């Protein structure tokens, strides 16, 4: 049996057929362990780290960073028994073994961590993998490396680095390897890749301490309560360097820049085009006085059990949508050709603008969550999206979406439906405006809602009633809760 195993780009799920190599986490000659992250790949939905299926020594890297490869394409060759002596020189350049099936995400997820990695202290989140990285499953782990800017088409790849020559007259001819990126030495700035028990993470959140800026003094380098308290008291701590700003546009002699359409942007374009020209869109608008809702938020923030919770107007909008769905279930449905599929569960999508483009992760079964649970879920969703760690699973299965365009200072919009959904709500900026209140013109806090819906499923009456209910809740949330629940 051949010592050289060819690792093909695995099926990452969700119907994805290709991925772009963002960064190699290993280089030719490196000794790697089972389940060690070896490459970061960007798909149309997320950037994921792929772990090694075998332990051994890297013999060849077949594609440089910035290359888009199809699922099943060989990307790396691994010598699974480097201690057995020099490799026999093959007659031709190493090619992928035809009898090796393409590993799937499920098969990779089933790979166990090698015993040499040791056990993680009970309660720690994010066990250490070789090289100090966090051992993660495909598509579900924290990203601890900064995304690299990909070269344009035609750019010259990084200079190849040869594997260490074995003691033999003829070195083994293998596919041209590519140098791995140099480490920048910066500490991680997100809390997903550090070791800390849940109570410690809660304490850090309560005290406003970023775990990513601390150096742990506990077992395996984990963050302890004392580390967090020391940071909160202003004592000397190790602070991570800020991430470099986005590179400025580079224009050619013709003063034009050509940006390849790929990854999230490509998927978004395809989805929006398909939705816009498949589902007949109708958009309605409603301007409402949300002064009472904003005061309710202030009272909520003042309660002791809510002082450590992120409370924003989006939370009340999400709650309003979930209650309105209970009153009008047809809004939470999908057009399936010869039938309409009405869903009892609500996977509430929240549109998020990221450096990689527009993504819409969703809160699973949001209608079953309490207000506090919903607040925590929204906070986690937004923070994960901003850090670029949203998994493909978190962006699939959405049933109804909110787009908070108000954060950009605009009043509302005419959003396009995500494919498979029948309604999307645009939440505009909350502004102080003159408003007739109790027969007098007063300055009130006002916002405008825009509801786009699939007219094949939702007619004008249903869409109007749903939007009116969302507006009624935001106008007087306490009264709506008493009346509807």
The Cα 281–Cα 165 span in angstroms is 63
Cα radius of gyration rounded to whole Å, the chain: 26
Residue 345 is encoded by which pair of tokens? Answer: 């569960």
- CA-based nearest residue to 169, from 88, 74, 109: 88
Residue 4 is encoded by which pair of tokens? Answer: 């050289």
Ramachandran angles phi, psi of 208, nearest 5°: 70, 35
Ramachandran angles phi, psi of 23, nearest 5°: -155, 135
Question: Out of 62, 63, 328, 455, which one is annotated catalytic?
Answer: 455
The Cα 399–Cα 418 span in angstroms is 9
Ramachandran angles phi, psi of 181, nearest 5°: -70, 145
- CA-based nearest residue to 54, from 75, 31, 33, 77: 33
Provide the b/e sequence for 112-121 (b: ≥16 CB within 10 Å): ebeeebeebe
433 within 8 A of 447, measured Cβ to Cβ: no
The CA-based diameter of the chain, rounded to the nearest angstrom, is 96
Q: DSSP label at 44?
A: S
Which run of H or of E encompasses 381? helix 371-386
- CA-based nearest residue to 287, from 412, 423, 425, 463: 412
Whether 455 is catalytic = yes
Angle between helices 371-386 and 313-327 (to 10 degrees): 120
Would you name the residues annotated as active-site residues? 455
């Amino acid at each position: 049996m051949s010592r050289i195993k060819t690792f093909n780009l695995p099926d990452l799920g969700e119907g994805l057929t290709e991925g772009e190599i963002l960064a190699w986490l290993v280089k030719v000659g490196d000794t790697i362990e089972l389940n060690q992250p070896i490459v970061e790949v960007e798909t149309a939905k997320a950037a994921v780290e792929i772990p090694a299926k075998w332990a051994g020594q890297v013999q060849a890297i077949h594609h440089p960073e910035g290359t888009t490869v199809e699922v099943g394409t060989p990307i790396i060759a691994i010598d699974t028994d480097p201690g057995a002596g020099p490799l026999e020189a093959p007659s031709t350049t190493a090619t992928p073994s035809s009898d090796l099936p393409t590993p799937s995400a499920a098969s990779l997820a089933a790979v166990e961590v090698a015993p040499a990695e040791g056990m993680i202290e009970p309660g720690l989140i994010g066990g250490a993998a070789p090289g100090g990285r966090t051992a993660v499953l495909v598509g579900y782990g924290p990203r601890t490396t900064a995304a690299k800017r990909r070269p344009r088409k035609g750019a010259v790849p990084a200079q190849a680095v040869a594997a260490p020559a074995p003691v033999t007259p003829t070195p083994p001819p293998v596919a041209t390897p590519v140098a791995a990126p140099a480490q920048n030495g910066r500490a991680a700035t997100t809390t997903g890749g550090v070791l800390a028990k849940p109570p410690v993470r809660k304490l850090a959140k309560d005290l406003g301490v970023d775990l990513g800026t601390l150096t742990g003094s506990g077992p395996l380098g984990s963050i302890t309560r004392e580390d967090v308290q020391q940071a909160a008291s202003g004592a000397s701590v190790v602070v991570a360097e800020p991430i470099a700003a986005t590179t400025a546009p580079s224009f050619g002699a013709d003063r034009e820049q050509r940006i390849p359409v790929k990854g999230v942007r490509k998927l978004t374009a395809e989805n929006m085009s398909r939705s816009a020209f498949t589902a007949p869109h109708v958009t309605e608008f409603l301007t409402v006085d949300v002064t009472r809702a904003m005061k309710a938020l202030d009272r909520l923030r003042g309660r002791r059990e809510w002082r450590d919770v992120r409370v924003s107007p989006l939370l009340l909008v999400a709650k309003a949508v979930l209650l309105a769905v209970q009153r009008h279930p047809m809004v939470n449905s999908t057009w399936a050709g010869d039938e309409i599929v009405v869903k009892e569960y609500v996977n509430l999508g929240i549109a998020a603008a990221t450096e990689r483009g527009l993504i819409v992760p969703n809160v699973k079964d949001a209608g079953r969550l309490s207000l506090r649970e919903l607040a925590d879920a929204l906070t986690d969703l937004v923070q994960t999206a901003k850090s670029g760690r949203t998994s493909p699973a978190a962006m699939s299965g959405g049933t109804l979406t909110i787009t908070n365009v108000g954060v950009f200072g605009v009043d509302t919009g005419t959003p396009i439906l995500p494919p498979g959904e029948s309604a999307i709500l645009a939440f505009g900026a909350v502004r102080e405006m003159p408003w007739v209140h109790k027969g007098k013109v007063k300055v009130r806090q006002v916002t405008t809602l825009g509801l786009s819906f699939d007219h094949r499923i939702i007619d004008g009456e249903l869409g109007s009633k749903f939007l009116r209910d969302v507006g009624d809740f935001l106008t007087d949330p306490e009264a709506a809760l008493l009346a509807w629940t």
